[in-house]
Chains A and B, each alone.
Chain A
Amino acid sequence: MKDMDDMEQTIDAARPPRPAISKLADFLLLLLASGGVGYCIGKLMAGDDFEVGDGGIILLSAAIFSLLAYRQLKAFPQANRKQEVTRYAVQTGVGAIIGMAGMSAIILLLGDTFENMAEQALYWNLAAILLAALYILVALVLMLLSANKKMVATKPGDEPLSDDEYKDTRTLFFWAALGMLAYGLILGITAIYGKDAGGPNWFALATLCSAVAGQWTCSYILWRRYDELYREVTRTACAVSYVMVEIMIVVWAGLTLFGFSVRFDPMAVLVIMMTISLVTTLTVSLRHGVR
């Protein structure tokens, strides 16, 4: 047992010290996450209704806490772990108080504006348009990349890129860009045409269905064309996204059934699902070394 402890300490000692900027980033993230929790506690204490955006704040805070806890375990030396955990707890408490105070001040100053936006469901439309723009931007970047041989070549180990590989990577980027563009269209169409729907809008529905069909086609082509790494990334991203959406729906159902009257419109569902999908896919791809 003692040998193992010695071994752990030797391994810990071999790790390079964390740079100050990394510590500062962790501290700011912790403040943000605990501020989100503090805001929600404040809202509960004030007896205000919970909205979907609040669920988003809780999910974001939980994600930041998990990330920091993971980094904590990975980065801090075993010998100082107790000290670091205490510091982490103190920072969380301070962050919660700052978050509660800050959010209360914002609600006091801008409460009516937020309320009006929420009543007209404007901020979800705005979020959808921003997310659509992000998808379209990523699609354009991928299109540009696919046209440039130097940028396509990631060259692990400085190997030259053969013509076949270049062609293959360009095709991958092209279909991925089309898929992203379709996602952007889905969000954009719903945000633009969904706001003032006075009656059935067949044009918007047909365009949306075409975009969904286009996205599915791109995903199918990519699935068929590329190898097991791409399929593993797709499978993992789908599974993680599904679990996250499932948690969100369970939390929403629970809050609604327990009388917290959560407002949850279709645009909110779309924006949250697409955000989860985008973030999960990017994270899983990077973790598997797919750039």
Chain B
Amino acid sequence: MIRNASGSAQGSGKLENRLKELRMAAAWSQGELALRLGVSRQTINAVETDKYDPSLPLALRMSKLFGVPVDQIFIDHWAPKS
């Protein structure tokens, strides 16, 4: 099994995400993004630092806000077995 740098197995752990990258590109602070999404800044920080995977409604809101499909914000390394 391939393990990433943090030791968790790929495809079975938390998702990776590009939230920080997208937020920086939009030149928003965590506080501003939290306000736009209607959540706390702690939630944004927890998502960016991979400590929390957001709910589906919040992920969809992020997708709409940045105009990027959900699977380009959150990356899952899982692939079906052939």
Contacts and interface: CB of A to CB of B under 8 A. Distances in A.
Per DSSP, are chain B's interface residues mostly helix, strand or loop, or mixed? loop
Interface stretch (A6-14, A108-116, A264-272): A6-14
Contacts of B52: 229, 232, 288-289
Chain B CB count within 10 A is highest, among A4, A14, A161, A162, for A162
The SS class assigned to the A binding surface is: helix
B74 to A, nearest CB: 15
Interface string A257-288: 00000000000000000000000000000011
B39 interface: yes
Given A156-B30, A228-B55, A290 B42 contact: yes
Contacts of B69: none
Interface residues of B, number: 23
A8 B45 contact: no
Interface in B1-20: 2-5, 7
The 5 tightest CB contacts between A and B, nearest first, are A289-B51, A289-B46, A229-B43, A74-B7, A156-B45
A168 B40 contact: yes
Given A73-B7, A228-B39, A289-B51, A159 B31 contact: yes
A226 interface: yes
Interface string B19-39: 000000000011100000011
A47 interface: no
A32 B30 CA distance: 43
Interface in A1-41: 4, 7-8, 11, 14-15
